[in-house]
Amino acid sequence: MQPIELTKNLIQYQSTSYHELELVQYISNLLSKAKIPHTVDEFSPHNYTHTQNELPKTANLYVDIGKSDKALMLYAHTDVVSAPKALFDPVIKNKKLYGRGTCDMKTALAGLVHVLLTSYEQIKQTDKRIIFAFVADEETSATGIKRFVEYYQTRVKDISCILMEPTNDFEQIHVGGRGYIFLDLEGKMKDILSSFRAIKQAKQQILGQYPDLQDGFKNSTIELTKISANDTAHDFLTVQGKACHASKPNLGINAIQQALSQYAQIDYMVSSKTEGPNSLPSKAYVVVDNQELANISATAHIDIRTNLAASKDDRLLKDVMKLISPNLEVRTRDRGNAFRVPDTFTNRITKGITTEKQIAQGGSDAPYVLELSKNIIPGFGPGKTKLAHTDEENIALVSIANTPKIILRNVKFSNN
């Protein structure tokens, strides 16, 4: 199966966070037919996150080749952010493949699977130990990588890691990452809306304390990303935004924040269901004159990204928490501090090629991988970062075709 066909097949699985099992089973079937040993590691996300919502069982998948104590992990996450159903029907136009996950990160996933199907015996005959890790739930709660770290802590002594997150079709390579804090709020609608309004009003003043210091980490961000409620209003006003990855809010329009600017008094607001908690909402649905709705139960999410100064002593988090109503229950769904990694491993992988070293601006599973090793590359993969989580997500066909070649090159130069 060629990389483009395989990528299209993977996109058709609506593998949003916690719903990756069917996709994992598809990959497992491909590997089984090729007689490639692998482990399907099923687990309950409840064991690795604080959410009180009912979550289905999901799974990671590992292909562990070789017996050395030193290993190279090649990583792709299997989940994608929520999207309109049409985006799970991939379409080729103008030498590009369109669909959810083309950038983040079904192309990388397809590249790794393709390398296994075509080069497993070749890799097996080397003296290297290579771990192909297909990891669930990167986009929401990082339960998959927590499970992976738990699984491999006693199974490998020395590991180097490449996370194949999109870096503009391998033109950049990540040498660190901004921090992130994802907050879940629960309580009455009026308390969520008053908290969101207070944060919006104070946001620029707060963020001004943590400016871009030209060290690659850029500025910190605070985004009010999602409001949900079981009770649905029917007479609502619609505020239009533009979805994008919450770590790059300059590329989108936050419909929740637009609504707070347009209406001085709001009794009820929910955001579009097609975006997850780490994307800017494309729509907000608002009721301005119904105080009964102000007392219904609701949940909400805040996406915070931090540079080194904002991460230190949880300074930015403390600033935000002061503005959240004490009537709300607040839980930290996931978090990771800003970090920078040594250049040694990065220089080895990029030997002989031209890449730009950057700090990753979006959150990833990298902070958890740091528990296993400091020799990690937080991002080096196919796809344009600005297209991730957008309705226009696409990737050039030539990039899909090149991805397996670059993976094999990484194996060659890993020297694990």
What's the CATH number where 68 sits? Answer: 3.40.630.10
Give the pLDDT of residue 233: 67
The residue from 293, 310, 336 where one domain ends is 336
Token digits for 20? 């990756």
Same domain as 212, residue 118: no
Give the pLDDT of residue 270: 96
Judge whether residue 67 has pLDDT over 90. Answer: no
Token digits for 34? 């090729």
The residue from 316, 336, 356 where one domain ends is 336
The conformation of residue 277, written as its DSSP 8-state character, comes to: T
The continuous run of DSSP H or E covering 221 comes out as strand 221-228
Token digits for 220? 């910190």
**How many CB atoms are closer than 10 A to CB 284?**
28
The residue from 311, 336, 361 where one domain ends is 336
CATH code where residue 217 lies: 3.30.70.360
Chain CA centroid to CA 129, Å: 27
- Rounded to two decimals, what is the model's pTM? 0.85
- 263-297 tens-digit pLDDT: 999 999 999 998 989 999 999 999 998 888 999 99
How far is CA 122 from each of CA 71, 169, 267, 301, rounded to the nearest angstrom?
16, 25, 63, 46
Range of weakest confidence among 127-136, 310-319, 345-354, 376-385: 345-354
The conformation of residue 289, written as its DSSP 8-state character, comes to: S
- 236-253 tens-digit pLDDT: 999 999 999 999 999 999
Ordered strands of the 96-98 beta sheet: 91-93, 96-98, 394-396
Same domain as 110, residue 17: yes
Q: Could you tell me which residues come within 8 angstroms of residue 58 by beta carbon, excluding any fewer than 6 positions away? A: 18, 19, 20, 21, 24, 42, 43, 45, 136, 137, 143, 144
Contact 241, 253 (CB under 8 A): yes
**Mean of pLDDT over the chain:** 94
Same domain as 153, residue 189: no
**How many CB atoms are closer than 10 A to CB 416?**
21
Judge whether residue 416 has pLDDT over 60. Answer: no
Same domain as 385, residue 299: no
Q: CA-CA distance, 31 to 300, in Å (whole number)?
A: 40
Closest Cα partner for 131 from 372, 403, 400, 405? 372
Segments forming the whole domain that contains residue 81:
3-176+338-413
Same domain as 312, residue 353: no
Strand positions, DSSP E, 49-200? 58-65, 70-77, 91-93, 96-98, 130-135, 158-163, 172-177, 179-188
Closest Cα partner for 133 from 147, 120, 118, 119? 147
Give the pLDDT of residue 301: 97
